[in-house]
Amino acid sequence: VCFSLYFVCFRVVVAYFLGPLHLFRLAGKCFSYVESMYKYEFCPFHNVTQHEQTFRWNAYSGILGIWHEWEIENNTFVAMWMRDGDSCETKNRQTKVLLVCGKNHRLAHVSEPSTCVYSLTFETPLVCHPHSLLVYPALHQALQRKWDGLEQLLYDNLITSQGYRKQLREIFEEARFLKSTKEIKEMKTESRHLEFESVEKCSEEYQRLSQDLHKLTALLTEHGIAYETLIGVSSKVLSPS
């Protein structure tokens, strides 16, 4: 029972959408870019893939990264990180996707600044407004209040700048915009398959995912987005191609 319950929750949460709600319309869609002999495909909040378009018997086709977290600078979403892609020597491939203003939704540029670390530029009219990528409006009201209190502490000199940055990151982690150090460590050590050492461990994971789902549905409800819509998109994104 635990495994079947976990799997249902897993389908909803893994390809999860978290961030500015107006970007939700990108979920479930994919955008392609062809350069030389390679075709790249970016599926927001899901993954990035690369396909070598040659007639070689061992032409590469694989995953350059799976949706992981946001990169935040100056309290603004600046890029999406896709990590834990296919293995590449001693590490896994990963991709940073920059979001820039454009007339249409399109993958505009792809590069590999360092071995097995890719950089994509995605143009979209959804980020043209100067406030479209601000973090604060994307937070649940409870976390907004926590941030307000943190700003007051800084203003009253009751907290250092270092302490402020640390607690602000914790707010972003609680919102699931960033992965915590603990989560990153666990992801590196745990199996990528749905296997558990015991029923207790499975139950703990199910409870954690249930909490994530509750936070997400509360945020969607707050902004008038139907919960059933998310399930439909998640199922579409995760279904085998």
Q: Residue 10: which CATH number?
A: 2.70.130.10
Model pLDDT, residue 162: 96
Residue pair 120/97 in contact (Cβ under 8 Å)? The answer is yes
Asked if residue 191 is part of any domain, the answer here is no
* Cα–Cα distance measured from residue 69 to residue 80, given in angstroms and rounded to the nearest whole number: 6
Locate 143 and state its tokens: 């976390």
Q: How many CA atoms lie within 13 A of 223 on its CB side?
A: 17
Which residue type sits at 208? R
Q: What is the DSSP letter of 54?
A: S
* Cα–Cα distance measured from residue 61 to residue 208, given in angstroms and rounded to the nearest whole number: 33
Model pLDDT, residue 228: 52
Model pLDDT, residue 194: 47
Asked if residue 207 is part of any domain, the answer here is no
Model pLDDT, residue 239: 42
Strands 94-101 and 87-88: unpaired
Model pLDDT, residue 226: 60
Model pLDDT, residue 225: 64
Asked if residue 144 is part of any domain, the answer here is no
Asked if residue 65 is part of any domain, the answer here is yes
Which residues are bridge partners to 79 per DSSP? 71, 98
* Cα–Cα distance measured from residue 118 to residue 109, given in angstroms and rounded to the nearest whole number: 11
- Residue 122's domain spans which residues? 1-134
Model pLDDT, residue 125: 97
Asked if residue 233 is part of any domain, the answer here is no
Asked if residue 89 is part of any domain, the answer here is yes
Model pLDDT, residue 215: 74
* Cα–Cα distance measured from residue 23 to residue 126, given in angstroms and rounded to the nearest whole number: 7
Model pLDDT, residue 26: 93
- Listed in sequence order, the DSSP H helices in the chain are 2-13, 141-155, 161-174, 181-189, 199-222, 227-238
Locate 103 and state its tokens: 């007339």
Model pLDDT, residue 221: 75
* Cα–Cα distance measured from residue 10 to residue 194, given in angstroms and rounded to the nearest whole number: 10
Residue located via tokens 């143009």: 123
Model pLDDT, residue 82: 96
Model pLDDT, residue 207: 79
Asked if residue 15 is part of any domain, the answer here is yes
Which residue type sits at 8? V
* Cα–Cα distance measured from residue 124 to residue 108, given in angstroms and rounded to the nearest whole number: 10
List all residues 6 or more positions away from 138 whose beta carbon is below 8 Å from its beta carbon: 19, 20, 21, 77, 175, 177
Asked if residue 141 is part of any domain, the answer here is no
3-state SS assignment for residue 206: helix
How many structural domains are present in the chain? 1
Model pLDDT, residue 191: 40
For the chain, which residues score pLDDT lower than 70? 1-16, 182-199, 201, 223, 225-241
Would you tell me the crossing angle of helices 227-238 and 2-13 to the nearest 10 degrees?
A: 100
